[in-house]
Amino acid sequence: MSYETSLEEFDLSISTLHRLRKMEINTLRDLQDLFDEGLEEFLEKRSLTKADFLLTKRHLQEIKRIIDAIDSSGLSNSSHLSLGIRRFVRALPLSFLEVPDDVLKRFTLFMGSEPNIGQLRRLPSRIWFRILQDYSTCRIILTQLNAFGLFIRNQDDFDLDKETFLRTKTKYYMALEELEISKKLYTTLISNNISSIAQLLSFSAAELKEKKIAADAAIATIRNALRDVHLLLKDDYFIFCRDCEQRFVSDETDGHTCENCKAKKKRISKISKLDINISGPEYGSFTDLLHGFVLYANIKNTTSDLLNVKLLSTYVVEDDKQISPVNFLKGYYFENEVIMPDTVRSAGQIWSTERFILKSSLSNGTYLILSVKLSSEPISRMYKFVYKDNSWEIDDYFHT
Ligand SMILES: [Zn+2]
């Protein structure tokens, strides 16, 4: 037997042989190429597309069994092939296995995107249970992984029967009294005939709300307490937050942002509703004997609320030199100002360095940095305006 041995010599089903042939896989060497190169490179080298990959889980399992059989008969090449197929399967997406939609969703929400089989394999048994919250489902998927010779960490845990697994490896049978909730909430649960964790887990947050057992605050408490012991209410998921990369618990299927990040976004929402433009330079002599030019920051409140606006700093950058204003224009400046809805307030500052004492044009590309904060929001915003053809255009802004 050699790499050139035709696959027809092995006991493969007609369907498998047919599909292999369509992918131009005729010998053990071709199989080895597929496993060594990985799917994408293999397809690309042969000008095939993803749609031309015709092997299902069942076909690969059959190929794996044949390779294992060659392996145990002591013929050469086979262990390399065996290793190859495991590596190949590890790189495939989870949806390659036969998994229910809910399982795919649970893993995808937990990881932040659809994981490949190798990523799942690296998670230990307790994390599997934590994500799937269902012993039988864990077993079903592990059986599929095992068929390719892939095992997860502490897989032995799932050799236990369900009852023993739940009792020894999870807090499923922990007493309700041990959950970190208030006495009042505990009493409410008991009076609604929820006297064990197992019973509590049979409810979704929506059902607890609907049955008036728990309102939003109580549900948040229950979720936190359950999360501490790696359990979830029915229909809840561990979700990877796109913003802070922390995992949170929710039954929301559309949102990938945690409550903290959502609240933070809301708190900084108004500052983006300030409409700011810059006018000037206006050259002149000023009452305090200064000569130079004035730039005005014209700030419009486009919200329907009163906004307390704070000017933090302003400076001009010309030829990489940062130049600060020397004074402000009396009657046209504020540091802190309440701006009414739909109203514009202007703040004028004077630049009077040697370069700017005499009227001269500002060079194109000079820019102005303006930093503004609202008293109601924690984050300040820095605006950058660029001077070009006698006007200032907004270029960028940053939250700081
Ligand atoms: Zn977050």
Domains in the chain: boundaries: 7-90, 94-169, 270-399
How far, in Å, CA of 295 to CA of 396, rounded?
A: 19
Ligand 1 centroid, distance to 254 Cα (angstroms): 14
Sequence length of the chain is 400
**Residue 183: partners with Cβ closer than 8 Å, 6 or more residues away:** none
**Strand 367-374 versus strand 307-318 pairing type:** antiparallel
- What pLDDT is recorded for position 77? 64
Ligand 1 centroid, distance to 245 Cα (angstroms): 6
Ligand 1 centroid, distance to 113 Cα (angstroms): 16
- What pLDDT is recorded for position 254? 64
Question: How far is C-alpha 64 from the chain's CA centre?
Answer: 35
- What pLDDT is recorded for position 268? 74
| Mean pLDDT, each 10-residue run in order, the chain (400 residues) | 85 92 90 87 86 87 86 70 88 90 94 94 94 95 92 92 95 94 96 96 96 94 95 95 92 82 79 92 86 95 94 93 92 92 95 84 92 90 93 84
Ligand 1 centroid, distance to 170 Cα (angstroms): 27
How far, in Å, CA of 214 to CA of 182, rounded?
A: 12
- What pLDDT is recorded for position 283? 92
Q: Which residues have CB atoms below 5 A from the ion given as ligand 1?
A: 241, 243-244, 258, 261
Ligand 1 centroid, distance to 378 Cα (angstroms): 17
- What pLDDT is recorded for position 74? 65
Distance from the first to the final alpha carbon of the chain: 67
* 270-399: CATH number: 2.60.40.10
Ligand 1 centroid, distance to 260 Cα (angstroms): 6
* pTM of the shown model: 0.68
How far, in Å, CA of 159 to CA of 207, rounded?
A: 34
Ligand 1 centroid, distance to 397 Cα (angstroms): 22
- What pLDDT is recorded for position 375? 92
